[in-house]
Amino acid sequence: MTPDEIFQDRIDRGIKIEPKDYMPEGYRKTLIRQISQHAHSEIVGQLPEGNWITRAPSLRRKAILLAKVQDEAGHGLYLYSAAETLGVSRDQMIADLHSGKAKYSSIFNYPTLTWADIGAIGWLVDGAAIINQIALCRCSYGPYARAMVRICKEESFHQRQGYEILLTLCRGTKEQKAMAQDALNRWWWPSLMMFGPHDSESPHAEQSTKWKIKIVSNDGLRQKFVDQTVPQGEYLGLTFPDPKLKWNAVRGHYDFGEIDWQEFKNVIQGNGPCNRDRLRARIEAHEQGAWVREAAMAYAKKHENKAAA
């Protein structure tokens, strides 16, 4: 057997691939792309939520939101570490993000306009992310699969807190309920887009499935999300912004309308409402932090020299 065949055989038998094992270059590159994109999403995702930390409506909500955003930065940290096991540095990954070469989840290119959006992000965006990530806990690359197990535990807490924000709003005043409905109207379709294009349109799907980097198809995950989320929305007393959304007893699933793929493509290409702001904020933080990082390195070097002398 060739090395590639041995590799595929291990994957087929469900043996995890570890950093020092042989892997085809395409497998390594695909994983770097996917894990770094996931890490960048955690980091950029801090911005829309951070937008409401200083305006959270109660001290309890502020504490929960701070803890959540801190978790996300932590997820970014161990995802970068997982990607580093594949031979790419964090500096390189960050440079690729800033140059636009690497992507992050497009969902964070939508603005958080009201407090209800913080609820919607937890309920819908984290809810969609969990569905994706639970599948990835079984992926073939060991460090990534283990990172996912850890992340999933925290994400389910994030989703619950988001739902609880909306539940409180829906049981509150007329204005609060309208705020919740407006958030659902704006976040529903972008959340469905998080699962990516139809499988027939997905460029890497077949190879990734063979390598067990992709476990369930985009459309399969999307259906699961819709089936899980619609009853939760009905319990809130909210209306989904999709006239075609309907339970299909024959299929045993909800039917739903077609995603606006024009919008999807445009947001990915940089034309979303916040693409420029998000990237600029990250680049500014990095550039304005350069002198701090340099100082820390210079200090460490001086003291290393002193210790050696």
Partner 1 sequence: MRLGDNALILSQRLGEWCGHGPVLEEDIALTNVALDLLGQARLWLGYAGELTGRDEDQIAFLRDAGEFRNVLLVEQPNGDFAHTMARQFFFDLWHRLLLEKLSASKDERIGGIAAKALKEVAYHRRRSTDWILRLGDGTEESHARMQQAADDLWMYTGELFEMDALDKEMQQAGIGCDLAALREPWLNEVSRVFREGTLEVPKQSWMQRGGKRGIHSENLGHILAEMQFLQRAYPGAKW
Contact residues for partner 1, defined by CB under 8 A: 43, 46-47, 50, 53-63, 66-67, 69-70, 73-74, 76-77, 80, 115, 165, 168-169, 172-173, 175-176, 281, 284-285, 288-296, 298-299, 302
Considering the complex, state which of residue 80 and residue 256 has its C-beta at the smaller distance from partner 1. 80
Minimum CB distance to partner 1, residue 35 (Å): 15
Minimum CB distance to partner 1, residue 186 (Å): 18
* Residue 165: closest CA among 52, 78, 275, 252: 52
Considering the complex, state which of residue 5 and residue 175 has its C-beta at the smaller distance from partner 1. 175
> DSSP characters for 124-179?
IIHHHHHHHHHHHTT-SBHHHHHHHHHHHHHHHHHHHHHHHHHHHHHTS-HHHHHH
Minimum CB distance to partner 1, residue 58 (Å): 5
Considering the complex, state which of residue 6 and residue 95 has its C-beta at the smaller distance from partner 1. 95
Considering the complex, state which of residue 253 and residue 301 has its C-beta at the smaller distance from partner 1. 301
Output the CA angle 182-184-189, nearest 5 degrees: 120
Give the chain's length.
309
Considering the complex, state which of residue 58 and residue 262 has its C-beta at the smaller distance from partner 1. 58
> DSSP characters for 230-250?
HHHHHHHT---S-TT-EEETT
Backbone angles phi, psi at 64, to 5 degrees: -65, -45
What is the C-alpha separation between 73 and 59, in angstroms, rounded?
21
Minimum CB distance to partner 1, residue 159 (Å): 19
Residue 247, strand partner residues: 254
Return the structure tokens found at 294: 């340099």
Minimum CB distance to partner 1, residue 169 (Å): 8
